Amino acid sequence: MKKIVLTLVSALILLSCNSEKRTGEPTIFVTIPPLKALVEEITSGDFKVEVLLKEGASPESYEPTAQQIASLNDAELVVTIGLIDFERSLTENIDDNERFVELSEGVELIEGSCSHHHHHHHHHGIDPHIWTSPRALRTMVNNLDRKLHDIFPDSTKYCDKAQQVMARLASLDSYCGSLLNSSNVKAIMIYHPAYTYLVRDYAIEQITIEHEGKEPTPRQLADIVDKGRKMGIKRIFHQPQYNPDKLRSIAEEIGAEVVMCNPLSENIELEIRNIVEQIARSNE
């Protein structure tokens, strides 16, 4: 009798555990903060959206923990840029890669290294910062929309939400283009080259202080200062992931101010609007 009771208790415990697992909150993982709000909006709050890259961390040096990688096995979807080094370790350690979606498909990518198109040994030398461009973001949202349709073909609300977001990004693109065109600004200066796609789309040069992940040599620093003067740079943009101390001497040399920006902001649309408005005021 005791054996029967123990068997029944064990069965009930197992059933309870399985029930909890089945009814647990479905989760979508995104690799960087700028994807979080977009995924939450498009999926209408139906999923818990978790970010792998922690606040203050840099994608260039970040390594996901074993616990994070293990948790991906239970995810409904893993949304990646598809161009950042640490994203590769995710796909190499997860059995079911069908749940991964790379949002960079269809974006005209930038590669190589020159004065304003640096790379940091990312995926095949490609600059990964596609999320800082409204035009690239529209393509990224479209890629997510197609993936969600494949997984949930009967759900029209995700498609409707994606269309609303893409329309909003089209308006943002138009606003940015109009503002920058009327400002007549030719270049920006920034520590880490995070706005490569933004400046490419609006025909502006990006002068970077960091050179292929390294501090500038004295010769490079002199060239940067000289170019900053010639281009009339009034603002030097700085990200919170990097030390601003080395920017102050450059700012003093060319008569510019150091301005904080955050290309890893969760509200990337607002960040793009803010940075473009800052750039447009650079001639004031």
pLDDT at 158: 96
Residue 283 pLDDT: 67
Cα separations in angstroms, 114 against 111, 136, 212 = 10, 21, 10
Please give the CATH architecture assigned to the domain spanning 183-283.
3-Layer(aba) Sandwich (3.40)
The answer to whether 238 and 261 are in contact (CB under 8 A) is: yes
Domains of the chain: which residue ranges? 183-283
Residue 121: the pLDDT is 41
Residue 124: what pLDDT? 55
Calpha distance 273→268 (Å, rounded) = 9
Residue 115 confidence (pLDDT): 35
Which amino acid, one-letter code, is at 190?
Answer: I
User: pLDDT below 70 — which residues of the chain?
Assistant: 1-24, 95-96, 112-124, 283-284
Alpha-helical runs (H) found in 24-52: 36-42
- Asked if 101 contacts 146 with a C-beta cutoff of 8 angstroms, the reply is no
Cα(200)–Cα(139) distance, integer angstroms? 16
Query: Per-residue b/e over 26-44, b at no fewer than 16 CB within 10 Å?
Result: ebbbbbbbbbbbbbbbbbe
Question: What confidence score (pLDDT) does residue 284 get?
Answer: 66
pLDDT (0 to 100) of residue 4 = 38
DSSP single-letter state for residue 98: G
Q: Please write the tens of the pLDDT for every residue from 187-220.
A: 999 999 999 999 999 999 999 998 777 888 889 9
